[in-house]
Amino acid sequence: MKISEIKTYVLKAELENHGFGWSQRVTDRRQTAICEVVTDRGISGLGEAFYFGGPADIAAAIMKDALGPLLIGKDPFDTCVIWDSLYNYTRDQGMKGLTLSAISGIDIALWDIKGKALGLPVYKLLGGAYRNRARVYATGLYEPQNASNIADALAQEALGYKKEGFTGMKLKIGYGIRTDLKYIKAVREAIGEDLYLMVDANHAYNAAEAIRLAREMERFDIYWFEEPVPPEDVDGYLEVKQNSSILITGGECEYTRYGFRELINRRAVDILQPDLCATGGFSEMMKIIAMASAANVPVIPHVWGTNVGLAASLQLFAALPHFPERRFPQEPFFEYDRSPHPLRQGVTREKFVTEQGYLKIPDGPGLGVSLDMDFIKKYTAR
Ligand code: CA
């Protein structure tokens, strides 16, 4: 089997009610870059490149125009060989960021092809399923742009997740310590004591601010504090971690085994959060997980994007080991983005629905999803 063509789809949609905000900015639109790797045997595979903020057109151009020509004629089963050649080709200017998102999208598509060719779900090729369903937490609770009282609006949204059966949810913070505490209090009081509550500052603070906030948050029983400081500030992460009783997490802005080496070796976080669609796809993610497992640092992947990225992340999640293995292991949480996204469900014919706080992991060949081409055409950016 040989790769014969690389197709990309850039989709864009505007959000209602002026979109939503977080500690870094406000967005009024969603977009995505999906790739389809076609082979001479009639099997094609799907992948999605993580992007946020930058135009998805750039990720698509890297996949199709920069990397695409290197793939033609290659055997899609040679995933590690192809990965190393693509990375090395772009290494001098592309060790992190959108280039890696593009490599991720292509790598995911190659694994989809392998699964379809063998008639097996990708998780089987990754070593098998530790679980066949994913306990999800709701990522939402962004700053609404049309609410007169933001704390009240967040409390209402949080209650909605509780009613839907979610056992955990994540609140955006990083607006300043006093504002953060007001939102945290409102959400915790709305959902009660039993549910897990995580907070995510999207690297809004320096270490001193983050430590002060972590201490103030302790009384609200916060499960983890995500990206307290900028990703480059590894010493800041260590300082916060050593001075917080709340678990410190990060890694969605880090890339490849090379990038994760320092976070793992220095034990900078309590939980690593690499994103499958950014850090390098399945091939690279399995190496990062192996390194983390050797250091006994838990991995709970970051998940974002449409159903294509979601389906891929669910395959990975099935094959995610325990940190550590034991008789009654801690079940990891799967990140389930609930923020407004007009493109999320429509891109695939298969739809994802939670049942009592769980998502079923597809067991069809490959990623287990296929594109809805009518939807894709409708939202393709011109
Ligand atoms: Ca995050």
User: Could you tell me the CATH number of the domain that includes residue 347?
Assistant: 3.20.20.120
pLDDT attached to residue 38 = 98
Do 163 and 272 fall into the same domain? yes
224 and 293 inside one domain: yes
Residues 245, 224: Cα–Cα separation, whole Å: 9
In a domain, 366, yes or no: no
Residue 41 structural domain? 3-120+374-379
Check residue 330 and give its pLDDT: 87
38 Cα–ligand 1 center, Å: 33
**Whether residues 105 and 136 fall in one domain:** no
Cα atoms found within 13 Å of the Cα of residue 62, Cβ hemisphere only: 26
Same domain, 82 and 108: yes
Beta-carbon neighbour count of residue 24 at 10 Å?
14
CA–CA distance, 326 with 305 (Å, rounded to integer): 33
Average pLDDT over residues 40-50: 97
If asked whether residues 98 and 205 sit together in one domain, one would say no
Ramachandran angles phi, psi of 259, nearest 5°: -70, -40
Check residues 56 and 4 and name the one with the higher pLDDT.
4
Active site members: 302
Q: Would residue 30 count as lying in a domain?
A: yes
> What is the average pLDDT value for the chain, to the nearest integer?
97
369 within a domain of the structure (yes/no): no
Same domain as 302, residue 185: yes
Specify whether 91 is located in the same domain as 154.
Answer: no
382 pLDDT tier (thresholds 50, 70, 90):
low
List, as one string, the DSSP characters of 90-148.
Answer: HHHHHSSTHHHHHHHHHHHHHHHHHHHHHT-BHHHHTT--S-SEEEEEEE---EESS-S
| Percent of the chain topping pLDDT 90 | 97
Interval between CA 41 and ligand 1 midpoint (Å) = 39
Separation CA 117–CA 126 (nearest Å): 15
Number of domains the chain contains? 2
Q: How far apart are the first and last CA of the chain?
A: 33
213 and 295 co-located in one domain: yes
Same domain for 133 and 113, yes or no, is no
pLDDT at 153 over 70: yes
What does the longest C-alpha to C-alpha distance in the chain come to? 59
The answer to the question of residue 264 being in a domain is yes
Give distance in angstroms: CA of 194 to centre of ligand 1: 23
Q: For residue 332, how far is its CA from the centre of ligand 1 (angstroms)?
A: 16
Residues 260 and 330 reside in one and the same domain:
yes
Ligand 1 center–CA 189 separation, angstroms: 23
Same domain? 135 vs 37: no
> Is the Cβ–Cβ distance between 204 and 24 less than 8 Å?
yes
Same domain, 100 and 157: no
